[in-house]
Amino acid sequence: MNVLGIETSCDETGVALYNTERGLLAHALYSQIAVHREYGGVVPELASRDHVRKTLPLVREVVEAAGLSHGDVDAVAYTAGPGLIGALMVGATTARSLALGWGVPALGVHHMEGHLLAPMLEESRPSFPFVALLVSGGHTQLVRVDGIGQYKLLGESLDDAAGEAFDKAAKMLGLPYPGGPHIARIAQEGNPDRFTFPRPMIKHPGLDFSFSGLKTHTLTTVRSLEKQSPLTEQDKADVARAFEEAVVSTLVIKCRRALEQESLNRLVMAGGVSANRNLREQLATTLGKKGAEVFYPAPQFCTDNGAMIAYAGAQRLAAGQVDGDDVQVRPRWPMTELPPIPANSPGESAL
């Protein structure tokens, strides 16, 4: 079965073709970073307009790159939520129109389930059950995963997500949007002994996160430095180093705690922040000492992309799930509300 996946939840237009026997056939991604950079964040109306312009050309590009025609597409999967309502509507209406015109089924996919399953696109795949750390610009969650659709929320951010905190810290330092890669880049030149930032909520019981206090501490540090003299490049690097270390350390501590709580030894990490090299290295080192394995997608599939939507959609379509007559997108959509795929279904067996 050839499944076309369309991702338009925020500021990236992703399209991919996934075959349930051969794997990923082709994919393409258009990023709107240049469009939103001058505003310091995503402008929803501009995002929707860009999706309108880019989605169909990317569909044509991917189908041709796969050496197929539209008649070879057996189903269309698209992101139905969570995300920006206008951006979601562009993807949903485009996907369902294509499916209707081609006479094939369509299915709305949960964006975060796509991220959670993205590591399944790699050769080394985790088996169920495992703990998933979903860490991106809009979400920071720890989830126990016993199968597709079998999710138990263990903890989540009570305020800013980790990716959002990275963006805000970068803005304080005068770095471009999106902030995560720029923080990580200059942090490599930072002095690890100059500042020590707090690790939020690590002494609290449970697995929830909070990064607002860390954000405030960063701002206070920056303003204190600016009172003395304009920020130097070394000042920025030192603050970035302390900030990144605090976020990474907090995530690692919570992941270790989650694995211990659930008596599991497999961790899946996905979402844009999962591309952070420091986070990957510290998780591998810390959890490796406990005999745990860490799985994550290739860097190109950490951020939003069509491949993860095509894959997640293929699993549910193979299990017989399809859209009804109405187009429904959900800007807010708890992943725990998703229906499970039975263990003996064709979808889960494809893993």
Binding-site annotation, residues for substrate: 134-138, 167, 180, 276
Beta strands (DSSP E) in the chain are: 2-7, 12-19, 23-31, 75-81, 106-110, 130-135, 140-147, 150-156, 266-270, 293-295
Going by the annotation, the residues of the binding site are 111, 115, 134-138, 167, 180, 276, 304
CA distance 88 to 100: 18
Going by the annotation, the residues of the binding site for Fe cation are 111, 115, 304
Q: The tokens 């020590």 sit on which residue?
A: 196
Distance, CA of 147 to chain centre: 19
CA distance 283 to 131: 13
- Phi/psi for 214 (5° steps) reads -65, -40
CA distance 286 to 268: 15
Q: The tokens 């405030």 sit on which residue?
A: 216
Q: Could you tell me the CA-to-CA distances from 309 to 20, 28, 80, 81, 328 in Å, in that order?
A: 13, 13, 10, 11, 16
DSSP string, 273-336: GGG-HHHHHHHHHHHHTTT-EEE---GGGTSS-HHHHHHHHHHHHHTT----SS----SS--GG
> Which residues, other chains included, contact 101 with Cβ-Cβ below 8 Å and sequence gap of 6+?
none
3-state secondary structure (DSSP) of residue 177: coil
CA distance 214 to 200: 7
